[in-house]
Every structure is written in structure tokens, then in C-alpha cells.
Structure 1
Amino acid sequence: MTASTGARLTTAAALDAFAAWAIRSTADRELSLTTASTLATLDRGGPQRLSDLAVREGVTQPSMTALVTRLERDGLATRGDDPTDRRAVIVTLTDAGREVLVSRRTRRATRLAALLDRLGDEDRAVVEAAAGALSRLTLTDPSRGES
């Protein structure tokens, strides 16, 4: 392993640890991670087949069916027929679902900003300088399901 590979692996491990910590420490107890992820997938990708959502979220179709039933009951998503396949179900994010996401994202950003305020000026400047690159990195990640 070269020094640059070792450095990249060290950086990747630090990012992984930070991501896991950030999720745990800023988690919104109102929504499970799977629920929040499903809503975010619908927000980014628009209406989707229930079966495709299950694959993207890494859950079984029966589990996704149960989740969508709860989302529908709570007014966060709707279920409709797929015009191209009468056997398939299309799931769509509602305005209320989008509002929940915006509120959740705002609370998480506020919590993270408060944590950034605890850093010294030099460390905060380093994190702020890396923010653009980290944003670009997330846009190139194929697991985001941008389809």
C-alpha cells in the first residue's frame, strides 16, 4: 500500500466515523432512518414504483409495503396505479412529506452548525474549505439513486 493510498483510507475511515456519529447524534427520533431515507429518495427521484423503492432502500417488498402504508396513513406519501403496469404501485411524496423533510434537514443543519461553532477558527476553516468537495463527492455517488 502506498502512502497516498494509506492517507486516503485514513481519510475515508475518518469520514465514515463522522458520518455514523453525525447520523446518531443529530437523528430525529420522529422518523426511522429507513422512513427518512425513503422520503428523501422520493424527494430526489420523484414518484417511483414500490418495488424499485424497496430495492433502493435495501428492504424487502413486504417491508416497503408496510412502510408505504404508514407513510400514506400519516399523509406523507400517496400510493397510485402505474399507468404502464396495472400490477405495479407508484409511490409519490406529498407536500406534507416534503415539509417533514425540510423541517428535518433544517433541524439537523442547525445542530451541526452548533457543533461547528465549538471548533477553533483553524479547524472550522478546514471543514468549511472541505464542504464544497464533500458536496461534489455526494453528487457523484451512484448509491444516491438519482434516477
Structure 2
Amino acid sequence: MSPRSPELSIAELTSVLENFTRMSIRLPSVQRLSFTTLSVLHTLSQRGPKRLTELTASEQVTQSAITQIVTKLERDGLVRREPDPSDGRAVLVHVTPAGAAIVDGRRAERIARLTELADQLTPAERAAIAAALPALARLVELSQQQH
């Protein structure tokens, strides 16, 4: 390979993404909730209402755990349950405006903190990240197609 197209090290990519994810999750200092609780709010905010069984699968937790999380979120006014119009025996979990505000607030705080950090990068480092964004977005897309 030429110096302009370095070989992709999947192990290095994995390590960097793991470290970046941990950093990114911890950037916001407000609304400290568990990772799984925040993940449920993000899932509902981005992908719309879900059945408990769908949340169990997407969040990779037990049915009992997701029921407890949703019950607590409901008690805190961050989600609500409504009958599933396609199956009266099932319920759909919806994010409430208060729950969406947590997601939006955490994203805004994360953007502010990442902006501060990115401002310390060189122009070449910023350009390299910008160039990688379409490929990273494509990896996410491919992953979602498999589920």
C-alpha cells in the first residue's frame, strides 16, 4: 500500500473507539444516570416508541432489567407507556419531553466539551477526523442493517 492509504488496523480502530466512547459517555456532567438508562432514553429519542421486548434486545439486558429501568424512568416522568395500536395486549414505551430534554441537554454539553477538545487539535488532525466521519457513519449504517 502507498503511504497515502495506510492499512486499517481493526484492533487499533476498536481500541480507539472503545476509549473514545468511554470518554464521550462521561463528558456530560449533568443528569448522571446509568449507562443503560441513558441508552434507553437515547434509543427511544432517536428511534421512536418501542415495545419492552424490542428494548430488551436493543439494550442487551434481561426482560426483568428493562422492566425495572422503564418503571423507574416512568416514575421520573422521562418515559410513558401507551397501548400498542397494532396489539392491544402490548405496550409501547415513548420518551416524554422531559426525557428528550435530557438527551438533548447531554448532547449539547457533549458538543461543547468536544469543541473545547477539538480546538486543541492541529488543523491536520481536525481534517483527518472530518475525513473519517463518512466512513464511520457507514459502519453504523451497516451495523443497523444487520439488526
Rounded Cα–Cα distance in structure 2 between residues aligned with 1:121 and 1:14: 24
| Structure 2 residue matching 1:140: 3-state secondary structure | helix
Q: Deviations over 1:72-124 (max 9, x none)?
A: 11111101222343432210111111111111111111111111111122222
Find the aligned partners of 2:101 and 2:16 in 1 and give their Cα distance: 29
1:120 aligns with 2:94: no
- The one-letter code sitting in structure 2 at the alignment partner of 1:69 is T
Identity %: 38
Partner of 1:39: 41
For residue 16 of structure 2, what is the aligned residue in structure 1?
A: 15
The TM-score normalised by the length of structure 2 is 0.80
The CA RMSD measured in Å over matched residues stands at 2.7
* CA displacement at 1:137 relative to structure 2: 2.8
Deviation digits for residues 46-87 of structure 1 (CA, Å, limit 9, x no counterpart) = 111112111110111111111111111111110122234343
Query: Structure 2 vs 1, CA of residues 75 and 24 (structure 1 numbering), >3 Å: closer, same or farther?
Result: closer
Aligned pair count?
142
CA 1:19–1:144: 2 relative to 1, 3 Å: farther
1:67 to 66, 69, 80: 69
- Structure 1 pair 74–110 and aligned structure 2 pair: CA distance change class (3 A): same
Distance 1:45 1:24, change over 3 A: closer
Question: Are residues 143 and 78 of structure 1, via their aligned partners in 2, closer, same or farther at CA, if it must alter by over 3 Å?
Answer: farther
1:82 equivalent to 2:84? Answer: yes
Distance 1:102 1:24, change over 3 A: closer
Q: Which amino acid aligns with 1:23?
A: S
Mark the runs of 5 or more structure 2 residues left unpaired by the alignment: none
TM-score scaled to structure 1, two decimals? Answer: 0.80
Contact preservation (8 Å) 2:24, 2:110: no
Q: Check conservation: 2:79, 2:96, Cα contact below 8 A.
A: yes
Larger helix share, 1 or 2: 1
Q: What's the offset of the Cα at 1:7?
A: 3.0
Whether the 8 Å CA contact 2:28–2:109 is kept in 1: the answer is: no
Please tell me the residue identity of whatever aligns with 1:96: A
